[in-house]
Amino acid sequence: MRWTHMVWRGTVGPMTSPGPHPRPVLGRTLVAMVTPMSSEGAVSGPDVDALVDHLLAGGCDGIVVAGTTGEAPTLSLDEMGDLVHRVTTRVKGAARVIAGVGTNDTATSVRGALVAAEAGADGLLVVTPYYSRPQQAGIIAHCCAVADSTDLPVMLYDVPARTGTALTPDTLTRLAEHPRIIAVKDAKGDLFEAMEVMAECSLEYYCGIDELNLPYLAAGAIGVVSVTANVWPDRVAALVNAMSAQDLEDARTVNRELSPMTRALMRPGPAACTAKASLADAGIIADPSVRLPLVAAGTPSVRVGATSSMSRRASTRTDASTLVRAT
């Protein structure tokens, strides 16, 4: 199976409300997209299309596929490539598509990068190798090997709660010297350390913890990689756009609206399960199924009303009162 490889270069044009500054290479409002599946466990192409339409209508200018929320550990390389190709074909340049290719094996991660590039990805997400807990020198060599394998920009993924190993500030500043390693998704939650690294190097920071999107953006993060945006992309985009426009008052207002939604979606966990249940309940995808070892949420943890969010525009407000916790 082969795809036409089109590498994108330059700055992202306005996808939602234009802000005062040019959009960064990988966008600002990125969603950690779930991977819709049928009850038999196969990736559902029609539901992928419907979800992508929903995310674009809500104002997302970046889509991360085959990440943690996309159940990457259960996807084969062929499935990942097919998924990237389908999403890039659907967005038609309206958003950047970033493929999660990091594993705990460098050779496999390099193969994943090549597959993603061939499938048309605009960037790569590379997580710190998990389980084996390598030394920082090994992490640097691993990330550089993946970055050297294609000409795509790379976003590092720092999530020690899942991997067992954090990227140290020194490692981050050294990796920032690589010409294609341009960003980091920070799910570590050490805001003070993040501000120190931002002051020392050129890495563009993305908040990878929905509960902390506002403080990270206020501290200098350029955008978010959001799970909540699967369900409420318009509200997450509104928060990011308000901070980009330096309208802190509006950002606080949107954040107050988002807080109960984020809590209901993220705190029961795992997020892939609750997000799929919510999307299925809203009629955006047909089935909330996940692959083992995850199991589908028995009932939706969050309800967003009977009207499909696909028809809403980024300016449409989602009333927090539509949230009803499952009993």
**What residues are annotated to the active site?**
157, 185
- Which secondary structure element, helix H or strand E, spans residue 237, and what is its range? helix 233-244
Residues 6+ apart with CB under 8 A from 73: none
Coil, strand or helix: which one is 193?
A: helix
Please check whether residue 110 is in contact with residue 144, taking contact to mean a CB–CB distance below 8 angstroms. no
Residue 87 and residue 97 in contact, taking contact as beta carbons nearer than 8 Å: yes
Q: Tokens 């990068």 sit at which residue?
A: 113
Q: Rounded to an integer, what distance in angstroms lies between the CA atom of residue 110 and that of residue 105?
A: 9
Question: Which residues, in sequence order, are bridge partners of residue 43?
Answer: 37
CA 153 – CA 184 distance, rounded (Å): 11
Tokens (6 digits) for 267:
């705190």
Decide: helix, strand or coil at residue 43: strand
